[in-house]
Amino acid sequence: MSRFSLAGRTALVTGGARGCGLAMAEGLAEAGANIAIFDMIEPEPAFSELATKYKVKTVFYRVDVTSSESLSDGFAEFERDYGGALDICVPCAGVNKNVKLLDTTPEDFDRLINVNIKGAYFTMQHAANMMIKNNTTKGSIILVASIAASRAVRGQYSSAYCATKGAVRAMCAPAAVELAEYSIRVNTISPGYIKTEMTAPFPHLLESWKSEVINNRIGMPDDIRGACIFLASDASSYMTGNDIAVDG
């Protein structure tokens, strides 16, 4: 199991204050990584327990990934606190909006693009620059796409959201090609239906989605942890530009 160990490495997770991001941060900490979180909201209490539970360093930074200034400031503070020793980055911050194609406003669309596409893209850019600067040979960027990148979400009006997740999936392979020479791997995780604040407004859908899932249950944020640890670690060193669907 030593190839799954992240001891001595440092991971940055955006949107890590709750939900899937927090679950992945916890998994990375359990595998031994120091953790930094970028989010606009205060992290759930479980975050403050990671440091003592897994004997790793943890710092929360209030960052809005849609603002280039906020993102640059966040990375600058991270560089000061961690000596720039970034190995793993999980741009997980994301938003959804249940809105019909015929009713979607340019403002709705901009918000989804700004968080889900631009936020992920420029987080990846900053992270890659920092990994190149610190000469890590263990660079791993794990973008968070979705099954919504390749199919409709039944019962939800999500054409704009699906478009953003398709873009995340599409940026993975070309980024992996460009960053391979720096020993940085780029992959995506595509979660299926996961019970978080994002899906909480649709309890009736959570129930009906079960019938689409072979496992016949809705995923929990912890269900994504294993894939994240795998992609972050040497266990996946021959994998880049690819996707893992964690969708039951």
Ligand X SMILES: NC(=O)c1ccc[n+]([C@@H]2O[C@H](COP(=O)([O-])OP(=O)(O)OC[C@H]3O[C@@H](n4cnc5c(N)ncnc54)[C@H](O)[C@@H]3O)[C@@H](O)[C@H]2O)c1
Give min distance, CB of 102 to ligand X, in A: 23
Answer yes or no whether residue 27 interacts with ligand X by CB under 6 A. Answer: no
At 44, the amino acid letter reads E
Query: Rounded to an integer, what distance in angstroms lies between the CA atom of residue 99 and that of residue 202?
Result: 13
Helix (H) or strand (E) holding 221: none
Q: Which is nearer to ligand X, 10 or 158 (CB)?
A: 158
Is residue 82 annotated as a catalytic residue, yes or no?
no
Is residue 193 annotated as a catalytic residue, yes or no?
no
List the catalytic residue out of 165, 190, 233, 236.
Answer: 165
SS3 category, 80: helix
Give min distance, CB of 224 to ligand X, in A: 8
At 146, the amino acid letter reads S
Closest by Cα among 100, 27, 41 to 246: 27
List the catalytic residue out of 61, 140, 146, 236.
Answer: 146
Q: Which is nearer to ligand X, 31 or 194 (CB)?
A: 194
Q: Which is nearer to ligand X, 164 or 236 (CB)?
A: 164
Is the Cα torsion angle 64, 68, 71, 76 positive or negative in sign? negative
Answer yes or no whether residue 74 interacts with ligand X by CB under 6 A. Answer: no
At 239, the amino acid letter reads M
Q: Could you say which of 13, 56, 65, 229 contacts ligand X (CB under 6 A)?
A: 65
Give min distance, CB of 2 to ligand X, in A: 29
Q: What is the CA radius of gyration of the chain?
A: 17
Q: Which is nearer to ligand X, 176 or 228 (CB)?
A: 228
SS3 category, 129: helix
Query: Rounded to an integer, what distance in angstroms lies between the CA atom of residue 99 and that of residue 9?
Result: 40
Residues 6+ apart with CB under 8 A from 49: none
Is residue 146 annotated as a catalytic residue, yes or no?
yes
Q: Which is nearer to ligand X, 131 or 224 (CB)?
A: 224
Residues 6+ apart with CB under 8 A from 108: 97, 99, 160
- Of residues 163 through 222, those in contact with ligand X by CB under 6 A are 191, 193-194, 196-199
Answer yes or no whether residue 146 interacts with ligand X by CB under 6 A. Answer: yes
Q: Which residues bind ligand X (CB under 6 A)?
A: 14-15, 17-21, 38-41, 63-66, 92-95, 115, 119, 144, 146, 191, 193-194, 196-199
Active centre residues (catalytic) = 146, 161, 165
